[in-house]
Amino acid sequence: MTDLKGKVAIITGGSRGVGKAVALKFAEHGINVAIGAKTVTSTDKTPGSIHETVAEVEAKGAQALAVQTDVRHEEQVENLVNRTVDAFGRIDIVVNNAGAIMFLPVDEMPVKRFDLLMQLNYRAPYVLCHYAVPYLKKQSVGHIINMSPPPKIGVLAADDWNNKTCYLMSKFGMSHLTMGLAEELRGHNISANSLWPKNIIDTQATRVFAQMLHANKTIDWYSPEMLADASLEIVKSNAAELTGQTLLAENFLAQKGITEIEKYIVNSPV
């Protein structure tokens, strides 16, 4: 899938942060992008919008589609898929990026917040894949990327279970989806991989939850560009050879010859 020009990607949570960075990186390589996210108007609390991302994608020469989507709702996810196919006639790449973060012990986590974690991190990627996979199968090759950690303790936001049981239930479930899809789709030349950083990425969400992530000026923060570059390397890879993996972005980039991780360091926002 090295020749990416004209391919089509669906990216959730693409109005800002990692999702937007992935969309712009894909656009630089000729991939057309459908942006699914809730934000249609930028505000101080939620800077960026699906329309702003689309404009920036188009400025890079690719085609783009903005579809307001709350991924908690099946009918909106199905609409995102249908609108993408109507606009571009195909789907080659799915990036499940939209998500939620909350660290609280089980007895303190409100059921409503638990449900939100499960809806966004666990259920929504399944729903998008459920509706998008039939179209991926029509192509000769495809890729699914889930932004989720290796299903074991030891990395950012999954360094221990304490106060994170609910969150990790949702994110590890997403990684299990990766491994299951990889086996189900192996015969169709469609890869499914998870991608996760070892270091903290500067996004609106991590700024809000910096205290939960023990993030301050004593640690390095990294640009979303790091995950964008890693996502590009995934879709450039042979789908039959790279699938069912839960990749750590820094390690994966190094394997691809991108060893200067320091270039992604940004000033601490907190």
Flag whether pLDDT at 1 surpasses 70. no
pTM over 0.85: yes
Q: What is the pLDDT of residues 85-116, one digit of tens each?
A: 999 999 999 999 999 999 999 999 999 999 99
Q: How confident is the model at residue 216 (pLDDT cuts 50, 70, 90)?
A: confident
pLDDT of residue 218: 74
Flag whether pLDDT at 268 surpasses 70. yes
pLDDT of residue 269: 85
Q: How confident is the model at residue 2 (pLDDT cuts 50, 70, 90)?
A: low
More confident residue, 139 or 215: 139
Q: Is 106 left (phi over 0), alpha (psi -120 to 50) or beta?
A: alpha
Q: What is the pLDDT of residues 31-64, one digit of tens each?
A: 999 999 998 998 888 888 999 999 999 999 999 9
Flag whether pLDDT at 135 surpasses 70. yes
The residues carrying an active-site annotation are 167
Q: Which long-range contacts (CB under 8 A, 24 or more apart) does 103-111 make?
A: 103/163, 103/164, 103/167, 103/209, 103/212, 104/163, 104/166, 105/163, 105/165, 106/165, 106/166, 109/166
Mean pLDDT throughout 184-198? 97
Q: What is the pLDDT of residues 225-243, one digit of tens each?
A: 999 999 999 999 999 999 9
For residue 158, what is the DSSP state? Answer: B
Q: What are the structural domains, with CATH classification, of the chain?
A: 8-266 (3.40.50.720)
Instruction: Compute the mean pLDDT over every residue in the chain, rounded to the nearest whole number.
Output: 95
